[in-house]
């Protein structure tokens, strides 16, 4: 039976600026909790923090299961968060630099959640940090930049770090271009399935959850 995020934390998540619908957030919490149980002692990684909405769901799962979440974001906003795009929020623009800066809002969310003992904020480009991160993962959530280049990079950098039996969650997966951008679908979701290394275990809205079933591509293994 799926566990539930504490009510106060769920309310905080829903009050936090972000783009994660309630049903997808609950599904994210469930998947992360299952990953923690399946691979105890291994950490979780979130690519794309924004103001911490999804971090609350993931951090709650990590804390409940005695794990730790690394939440990675440079906090300058993705391309789609900049001025001129529908997903721009002018309240997140730094008054001095006149550039987007989501870090103060994220740190405020982290303080309010009291999840500081389970969440490690990483202020970095995901590719740069990923190049230095070698610990196998129980769970990886990719929700960073949604352009072709960042999605390709996040897939190539981070998915090899998922332990066998670990989980990969991908946000904003749209099979139909009429529903949304195609990069997470084309450059993360489809490559993961087509590799033969992952199998889908659940879906909620635009969230897809896959599980790593082997260490090597089936075609590369010897008989």
Q: Scanning the structure block, which residue is given the tokens 């940090």?
A: 129
Cβ–Cβ under 8 Å, residues 119 and 68: yes
Is residue 88 flagged as an active site residue?
no
Return the SS3 of 183: helix
Task: Write the DSSP symbol of residue 100.
Answer: B
Q: Which of 75, 146, 171, 185 is catalytic?
A: 146
DSSP letter string, 134-170: -S-EEEEEE-S--SHHHHHHHHHHHGGGEEEEEEEEE
Residue 95 in tokens: 């008054």
How far is CA 191 from each of CA 11, 23, 144, rounded to the nearest angstrom? 35, 25, 17
Locate the DSSP E strands across the chain.
44-47, 69-73, 119-123, 137-142, 162-170, 198-204, 207-212
Gap between the Cα atoms of 16 and 57, Å rounded: 11
Diameter of the chain by CA atoms? 62
Which of the residues are catalytic?
A: 146
């Amino acid at each position: 039976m799926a566990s539930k995020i504490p009510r106060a934390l769920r309310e905080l998540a829903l009050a936090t600026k972000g783009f994660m619908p309630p049903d997808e957030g609950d599904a994210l919490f469930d998947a992360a909790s299952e990953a923690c149980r399946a691979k105890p002692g291994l950490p979780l990684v979130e690519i794309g923090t924004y103001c911490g909405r999804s971090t609350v769901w993931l951090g709650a799962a990590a804390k409940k299961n005695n794990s730790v979440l690394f939440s990675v974001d440079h906090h300058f906003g993705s391309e789609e968060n900049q001025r001129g795009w529908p997903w721009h929020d002018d309240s997140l623009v730094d008054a001095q630099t006149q550039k987007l800066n989501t870090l103060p809002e994220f740190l405020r969310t982290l303080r309010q959640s009291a999840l500081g003992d389970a969440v490690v904020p990483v202020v970095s480009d995901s590719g740069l940090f990923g190049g230095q991160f070698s610990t196998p993962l129980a769970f990886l959530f990719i929700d960073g930049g949604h352009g072709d280049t960042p999605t390709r990079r996040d897939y190539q950098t981070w998915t090899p770090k998922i332990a066998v039996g670990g989980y990969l969650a991908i946000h904003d997966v749209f099979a139909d271009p009429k529903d949304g951008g195609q990069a997470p679908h084309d450059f993360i979701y489809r490559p993961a399935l087509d590799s033969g290394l992952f199998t889908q275990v659940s879906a909620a809205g635009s969230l897809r959850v896959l599980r790593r079933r082997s260490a090597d591509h089936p075609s590369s293994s010897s008989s």
